[in-house]
Amino acid sequence: MTIKASEIANNYPILTYRYRITVGEEVMAFSKVSGLKTSREEIDYKDGMGGRVSMSGEKSDLDFTLSRGVVSKESQLWAWLNQASTNRLEKKDISISLINETGTELLITWNILNAFPTGLSAPDFDSTSNDVALEELSLSADSMTIEYH
């Protein structure tokens, strides 16, 4: 029995190295997305008779990190973070989409609403290394939805 390409595409896990990130209206290149997680607190209710019930509580904070190579031109990420000094920090929607192998079709998109930067890390400096210099932008956001295309 042969397996068709469409069956493989629909039934096998999607690889994580093909993705597209949009920050506001601008498509940006990042080498890594980490820590993107949404969860809820667990609340235990005890009734005084030895009974216990677990319930879902408030949403936890939505914090994540975007990493990318440092280039010699000015970083728009630094400019975005620096807006906080003028009390005019702009929140932006961010979408992270897994895409097909040709880059023409969105497969799954994580939509992050009202994200704002909380920190920007400089690369590690090491004279014995030939690693690419990476900056990491830490962000917080209000909520996240997942869209299956």
pLDDT tens per residue, range 78-130: 888 888 777 778 899 999 999 988 889 999 999 999 999 999 999 999 999 99
Domains in the chain with CATH codes: 15-34+56-148 (2.30.110.20)
pLDDT, residue 55, reads 87
Q: What is the helix (H) or strand (E) element at residue 9, kind and residue range? A: helix 5-11
Q: What is the helix (H) or strand (E) element at residue 73, kind and residue range? A: none
The three-class DSSP label of residue 82 is helix
Q: In this structure, what token pair is assigned to residue 4?
A: 């068709």
pLDDT, residue 9, reads 67
Q: What percent of the chain has pLDDT over 70?
A: 97
Reported as half-sphere exposure (CB side, CA atoms, 13 A), residue 81 has a value of 16
* The amino acid at 147: E
CB atoms inside a 10 Å sphere around CB 93:
15
Give this prediction's pTM.
Answer: 0.82
| pLDDT band of 51, cuts 50, 70, 90 | confident
